[in-house]
Amino acid sequence: MSLVALGHLAHDLDRQPTAKHELLADPAEFLARYDLTDAERTAVMALDAQALVDLGLNPMLMWNILGAAGVGPKDLYSHTITMKEAGH
């Protein structure tokens, strides 16, 4: 499991000024920088909060990922938006 890579992803989205834009512009290319498992990559692309937490990601770090993609608090666990939709 590459839980550490998910943590790095969440940290980068919170701390690197261009990371959010890069994620939304080309999610696949941005995520390729991280040694994610297929399940982790799928959860991030689906913006699936529950799957990320089930994979072991701290909920606060999970929020960094979903928040960067524009998911608000009321939609956090609804799974109604995907990375493709978030990038417009």
Query: Which tens digits make up the pLDDT trace of 42-88?
Result: 999 999 988 998 999 998 899 899 988 888 887 777 766 666 666 54
Model pLDDT, residue 88: 45
Model pLDDT, residue 5: 94
Model pLDDT, residue 80: 60
Domain span at 37? 3-86
Query: Which of 49, 45, 46, 17 lies closest to 32, judged by CA?
Result: 45
Query: Which of 53, 88, 80, 86 lies closest to 68, judged by CA?
Result: 86
Question: Burial of 70 by CB count in 10 Å (0-12 exposed, 13-18 middle, 19+ buried)?
Answer: middle
DSSP conformation class of 81: -
Model pLDDT, residue 81: 62
Considering its fold, how many domains does the chain have in total?
1
Q: What is the pLDDT of residues 19-48, one digit of tens each?
A: 999 999 999 999 999 999 999 999 999 999
Domain containing 53 — which CATH number? 1.10.700.10
Query: Which of 42, 38, 46 lies closest to 79, judged by CA?
Result: 46
Model pLDDT, residue 73: 80
Model pLDDT, residue 14: 92
Model pLDDT, residue 87: 58
